[in-house]
Amino acid sequence: MMMSRLSLTDMKGRNRILAHMKIKPTRRFLTMPPAPIPYNNHESYCGVQILLKISRYLNETGRPLPSYNAHRDFRAEVLGPRLDNGESFSGILQGINNANGIGNTPLGQDIRDLYAEWERTGELLIPSPLDQFGIHPILDLNIGNFYLSFTNLSLSMLLTLGLVLLLVFVVTKKGGGKSVPNAWQSLVELIYDFVPNLVNEQIGGLSGNVKQKFFPCISVTFTFSLFRNPQGMIPFSFTVTSHFLITLALSFSIFIGITIVGFQRHGLHFFSFLLPAGVPLPLAPFLVLLELISHCFRALSSGIRLFANMMAGHSSVKILSGFAWTMLFLNNIFYFIGDLGPLFIVLALTGLELGVAISQAHVSTISICIYLNDATNLH
């Protein structure tokens, strides 16, 4: 029996070795030791030596793996097939020692081949909290030079549209609502009453009939934002508004529509918003340029605000959730107790992000109403 002392940091790697050896992990092997621990089993000692030699070999050859998960899986894929073929850790370690290093052994060739394959397929990239915003095709459809594939983004928008239509259909399927509304009918009525009240508060100088012309556009925009923003909080879902092109397309189309409304109501006099009355003539060129930039920037401001809030909030939740999840599975009582802090922060941040997702629909609708008020009433 061989007695040796090693300071180890790769707990999951040790557990994989023990699993290959058909040995049930004990508390000594599951816990990350604060000090070196003895290994009374010669085979487990050889396995740990191999893991350390693999790490040293990768660093010496300038190919360190970029993440802990990739390192762990890499070791398992390198050693697993050799163990399944009947080799033992003692035999592999003896071969490494006879060759004066890993480089000239079959294990070294396996490492080089596997690393090259992983590097070619891009599977060694460091996991990023922004990976959740990736657009992936579900049904590939290429027509010539046009890419018309059905992606997870398309699916998410269809689900949002379907949810809104289903809610309205359920409430109105019998020719109208009930005298005593249920929860779903109350939700639809609340949304329906909210938009006209907002239009009346923010847009002045117009009759009720004229304001009603703006109601469909504002109502659809508010309802779609209200349902699609919180949708990203559902696990394994997709946040449509985390993509700047989506929010930019929405804000730019609204900006074009509001500008058309301004020209329809005022004609060429609409340009008078660039120069308020009473401005001294020497300041007129600078003020016209400033007002023009301010007006055009409205096409970007709403999209940037929504995109930034959604991406930043979801990324923060992802980072802290991963941190809490890692601490939870470190198999150490102190880490487990310490995990309660990040866990509570994640729960609080999730509630905050849900509130932000809902409030952004309100903020975007108010912005549309303010821009409409400026276009219809000028200065």
**Residue 305 to residues 42, 204, 298: CA-CA distances in angstroms?**
61, 25, 11
pLDDT at 86 over 70: yes
The first and second tokens of residue 137, run together, are 């095709």
If we measure between CA atoms, which residue out of 24, 80, 21, 20 comes closest to residue 54?
80
Q: What is the pLDDT of residue 5?
A: 32
Average pLDDT in the 287-304 region? 87
Average pLDDT in the 179-204 region? 80
If we measure between CA atoms, which residue out of 179, 181, 219 comes closest to residue 199?
219
The first and second tokens of residue 355, run together, are 């509130």
Interval 33-63: pLDDT, tens: 333 334 456 777 788 888 888 888 887 877 7
User: Letter for the amino acid at 98?
Assistant: N
Q: Is the pTM of this model over 0.75?
A: no
pLDDT band at 256 (very low <50, low <70, confident <90, very high): very high
Q: What is the pLDDT of residue 3?
A: 30
Residue 142 phi/psi, 5-degree rounding, is -115, 125
If we measure between CA atoms, which residue out of 332, 294, 282 comes closest to residue 29?
332
Give CA–CA dist 198/245, Å, rounded: 27
Give CA–CA dist 142/105, Å, rounded: 46
**Residue 296 to residues 35, 74, 262, 304, 377: CA-CA distances in angstroms?**
64, 52, 14, 14, 18
What is the percent of the chain where pLDDT is above 90?
Answer: 1
Residue 132's Cβ-count burial label (10 Å; 0-12, 13-18, 19+) is middle
Other CB atoms within 10 Å distance of the CB of residue 294:
12
Q: What is the pLDDT of residue 2?
A: 31
Angle at 177 between CA 172 and CA 182, to 5 degrees: 110
Interval 8-33: pLDDT, tens: 334 444 555 545 444 333 333 333 33
Residue 138 phi/psi, 5-degree rounding, is -100, -45
Tell me if residue 241 falls in helix, strand or coil.
helix
**Residue 204 to residues 16, 259, 373: CA-CA distances in angstroms?**
70, 17, 7
CB neighbours of 135 closer than 8 A, spacing ≥ 6? 151, 152, 153, 243
Residue 48 contacts residue 6 (beta carbons within 8 Å): yes
pLDDT band at 6 (very low <50, low <70, confident <90, very high): very low
Tell me if residue 309 falls in helix, strand or coil.
helix
Better pLDDT: 337 or 315: 315
Average pLDDT in the 180-200 region? 82
Other CB atoms within 10 Å distance of the CB of residue 216:
10
pLDDT at 298 over 60: yes
Average pLDDT in the 344-351 region? 83
Better pLDDT: 40 or 244: 244
pLDDT at 1 over 60: no
Give CA–CA dist 310/132, Å, rounded: 12
If residue 6 lies in a helix (H) or strand (E), which one and from where to where? strand 4-6
**Residue 158 to residues 133, 191, 273: CA-CA distances in angstroms?**
17, 20, 39
**Structure letter (DSSP) for residue 146:** E
Instruction: Give the side-chain half-sphere CA count within 13 A for 198.
Output: 22
Average pLDDT in the 276-293 region? 82
User: Letter for the amino acid at 356?
Assistant: V
